[in-house]
Amino acid sequence: MSFTGVMRPGHVCIRVLEMGPALTHYVERLGLQKVGQDDQGRVYLKAWDEHDRFSIVLREADAPGMDFMGFKVCSTADLDRLELAVRDYGCDVERIPAGELVGCGHRVRFTIPSGHSVELYAEKDYVGNGLGLTNPDPWPEGLKGMQVNRFDHGLLYGPNIPDVVDFFVNALGFNLTEKVLSPDQKIIGAFLSCSNKAHDIAFIDYPEPGKFHHASFLLNSWEELLRAADIMGMYEIPIDIGPTRHGITRGRTIYFFDPSGNRNEVFCGDYTWYADRDPITWHAEELGKAIFYHDRKLNENFLTVVT
Amino acid sequence: MNESRAYRITIADSDEDFLCKDGQNVLRAMERLGRKGIPVGCRGGGCGICRVQVLDNGRYRTLKMSRAQISIQDEASGMCLACKLIPQGDLRIQPLGLLRKKLNN
């Protein structure tokens, strides 16, 4: 469901140091499916319950991090309207032709005040989730590893969070669902939704622009989360924290790292957001509880370890 | 690689030392033994938290590290990330953390 014309996080392009170990991690351990590779060497992946051709793009590079995150909008008319809204807001907009990402229609890309590249697109090849749309089974056999359902959201670190919130709310029509306020009442953390989810993208204040905190993948239950943690144990995947609960979004979570040091999350059980709510407020002095509800304290890594 | 061989890693300006098996990275060896001295971050060569300076011309090799954290110049001067540092002899190392990067900026 979209309230804004923006439908959902559609893809994220993650830089990795070495493609081989990255594919072992994302395909064999998380359970994403490899759908292709382009002439630049970028590898395209999808989660089993996504219907579009890809959601994760991996690019081998000298430094890890995020190249860009893309949102799918409901129609080409919405894309044209939102492109105009972003231009009117004062952002420089780059139009990337259809096919530059294989299977994706033309994209509208801009840099937001935190220094991240964000893009919108309306069309991507439909491949389905393998179950069909008529009398389908609930899940396919043969899934690997943690069996993540979908790319769910991203958390990004950078400066100018109040400006980022203003942009997402007023140019793109997102809702602010939760915010973290500093003692002088500045927004230093923002959770934003274009849908019924508690967050589709989130930001935390950080001096260096364009930093990547994590990409999150959806699981169905606490039990599946525990099973994911077991897989991290079996294969010695470095865990940052968890399994535990976030105060913000109420999500149940594990933070862990890919072989290039990019943080991933597996996550389940946030609440349903409706646009007639007011945002939830957290005070910075309660940030420990906001982020890790059980320990009620931040691990230092949450604030400092980014790519 | 010789599984039975191990190298002694000494943390400068502290009483910490521990053994690192041949082929193992220094950060992993420290964590496995429950020792401290080098800050632990992503363990994947990406975040720069475990940045160290290798002292006394110690012998080692490194695996691929983020160029945003360790420049070619840094690497040539014996700086590296402990999670990608494979000793080839006993080493004395100085943890730097994010300090050096902050000073550069």
pTM for this predicted structure: 0.94
CB contact under 8 A, A304 and B49: yes
Read off the pLDDT of residues A117-139 as tens digits, 9 standing for 90 and up: 999 999 999 999 999 999 999 99
- Nearest by Cα to A71 from A46, A112, A108: A108
To probe the interface with A, which of B43, B62, B102 has the most A CB atoms within 10 Å? B43
Chain B residues inside the 8 Å CB shell of A263: 42
Q: Is A106 annotated in the active site?
A: no
Give A191-253 as a 3 state SS string.
Answer: EEECCCCCCCEEEEECCCCCEEEEEEEECCCHHHHHHHHHHHHHCCCCEEEEEEECCHHHCEE
Q: Enumerate domains of chain B plus CATH numbers.
A: 6-103 (3.10.20.30)
Instruction: Spell A76-88 as b/e; 16+ CB within 10 A means b.
Output: eebbeebbeebee
Both structure tokens of A184: 């002088």
Read off the pLDDT of residues A6-57 as tens digits, 9 standing for 90 and up: 999 999 999 999 999 999 999 999 999 999 999 999 999 999 999 999 999 9
| Residue of chain A whose alpha carbon sits nearest to that of B31 | A238
Both structure tokens of A188: 């230093």
| Residue of chain A whose alpha carbon sits nearest to that of B70 | A63
Catalytic residue among A11, A25, A214, A224: A214
Q: What type of residue is A93?
A: V
**Which helix H or strand E contains B53, and what residues bound it?**
strand B51-55
Q: Strand pairing partners for A244?
A: A253
Read off the pLDDT of residues A252-304 as tens digits, 9 standing for 90 and up: 999 999 999 999 999 999 899 999 999 999 998 888 888 888 888 887 788 88
The more confident residue out of B97 and B103 is B97
Q: Which residue is listed with tokens 């809702």?
A: A175
Measured at the CA of A249, the angle between CA A248 and CA A250, to 5 degrees, comes to 90
Task: Give residue B37's Cα distance to chain centre.
Answer: 11
Model ipTM?
0.88
- Nearest by Cα to A224 from A148, A152, A150, A291: A148
